[in-house]
Structure 1
Amino acid sequence: MDKRLILLVMLLASAVAAGAQTERRIYTKAEQESAQKREVEKRIEAIQDSIRSVEAFTALEQLDFVLEANRLSFKRGETAFVTSNTNFVSLSDDKAVIQIAPFYGGGPNGVGGITLEGRASNIKLKTDKKGNVILTMSVSGTGLSAMVDISLPKNSYMASVTVNPNFHSNRVTLYGVLLPSGKSDVFKGRAL
């Protein structure tokens, strides 16, 4: 019985000691205001992202969009970071433009790459079970015959476009922001 009493006294003493040793961080008014400001900025950014997502989806549905690419991925996995105003894929009704300019200046289009124009046909828009949107189309024109697949993840405005030429296997994928044509700021070079 003495051992039980000693154990009980020790437990009570450690509980009292643990309760007496509490510590908490107290924030200054400036730190509180800064945290509130960051929270408001996060909410504003989330709302803006939501609006951009709706605009991107609507632009796809209306066949009036531009994907401004900031990164290219080539057939064998090589990647290149590029300027978004000279690397893009656009569609306006049935008029498609694909411009890939990984170099700075020169090239057939004058801006460091190639610009291809063509007519889009067989345009299909589907949404998978997860809500991701995929637009597929065939594009044909002077120097161009390709299948183009655009993937827009659910609730996003960041998309990818894969261009699969029909006559050779020089596939290229462009990654970037999908915008309505009216909000885009791209520079189109000379087309072939």
Structure 2
Amino acid sequence: MKYLGIVIMTMFFLSVNAQESETSKLDKKEIREQRKAEQRKVQAEKFDEITALVQNKSFALEADLLRSRYATFNVIQDNNFIKVEGDEIIIQTANFNRIGWNGLGGITVRGKIIDYDVSENKKRMNVSITASTFELGNVNINLSLGKNGNATANLTGNFGLRTTFIGDIAALNRLDQFQGMTRY
């Protein structure tokens, strides 16, 4: 009799626990769906903001990574950037371990934008920029922007220049950049 009472009590607790786990699974699923919807809404708002910045030609790509032909470097975001401000472009690299033209261990180049084309699809926005600079000649920049603000800019130019800037897009009024010296 004692054994039968233990079996009945165990069955009762197992059935109650199973019902609680089913309801908790449904609650967790609803919470997950709400979070995903909120993330999609935030991404859409951020992408609209980025689209406005790109259309107005007033943004900067702050690079976390610089990639050359042979190596990839983690860099400080404030000193490595591509800034588009109207019809002017500023490209800067910096490395505190080296001596460079701009006083920051890299190069700062100013140029005029010759061609600026924007194309957009469901997931990304692509910007093609052709700029004329004194130091580097004509530079082609293919900028690929994601919905969450991450960006990749491939620079190609005369004399075999190939560099990739990887980082985030920011508005010009939110920047905290230190710009080095230009030589020309």
TM-score range, shorter chain: 0.7 to 0.9
Tell me the residue number matched to 2:74.
81
Tell me the residue number matched to 2:134.
142
Structure 2 counterparts to residues 65-104 of structure 1, below 5 A: 65-76=59-70, 78-104=71-97
In the aligned structure 2, how far is the partner of 1:106 from the partner of 1:42? Answer: 47
User: Structure 1 unaligned runs (5+)?
Assistant: 1-15, 27-38
User: Structure 2 unaligned runs (5+)?
Assistant: 1-6, 21-32
Residues 139-191 of structure 1: CA deviation (Å, up to 9, x unaligned): 112202210111012x221111111012x223000011101111111111001
State which of 35, 45, 52 in structure 2 corresponds to 1:58. 52
In the aligned structure 2, how far is the partner of 1:99 from the partner of 1:80? Answer: 14
Tell me the residue number matched to 1:182.
173
What secondary structure does 1:61 align onto?
A: helix
Shift of 1:42: 8.6
Q: Which runs of 4+ in 1 moved over 6 A?
A: 39-46
- For the pair 1:163 / 2:158, whether they are aligned, the reply is no
What secondary structure does 2:78 align onto?
A: coil
Q: Flag the 1:133–1:111 CA change in 2: closer, same or farther, 3 A.
A: same
Q: Flag the 1:48–1:111 CA change in 2: closer, same or farther, 3 A.
A: farther
- For the pair 1:127 / 2:96, whether they are aligned, the reply is no
What secondary structure does 1:125 align onto?
A: strand
In the aligned structure 2, how far is the partner of 1:73 from the partner of 1:45? Answer: 30
In the aligned structure 1, how far is the partner of 2:167 from the partner of 2:135? Answer: 24
Shift of 1:58: 1.2
Letter of the structure 2 residue corresponding to residue 57 of structure 1: T
The alignment of Structure 1 onto Structure 2 pairs a total of residues equal to 162
In the aligned structure 2, how far is the partner of 1:47 from the partner of 1:106? Answer: 45
Structure 2 counterparts to residues 23-42 of structure 1, below 5 A: 23=17
More helix by share: 2
Q: TM-score, normalised by structure 2?
A: 0.75
In the aligned structure 2, how far is the partner of 1:179 from the partner of 1:187? Answer: 15
Tell me the residue number matched to 2:28.
none
In the aligned structure 2, how far is the partner of 1:75 from the partner of 1:188? Answer: 25
In the aligned structure 2, how far is the partner of 1:133 from the partner of 1:73? Answer: 21
In the aligned structure 2, how far is the partner of 1:43 from the partner of 1:187? Answer: 38
Tell me the residue number matched to 1:32.
none
Shift of 1:51: 3.5
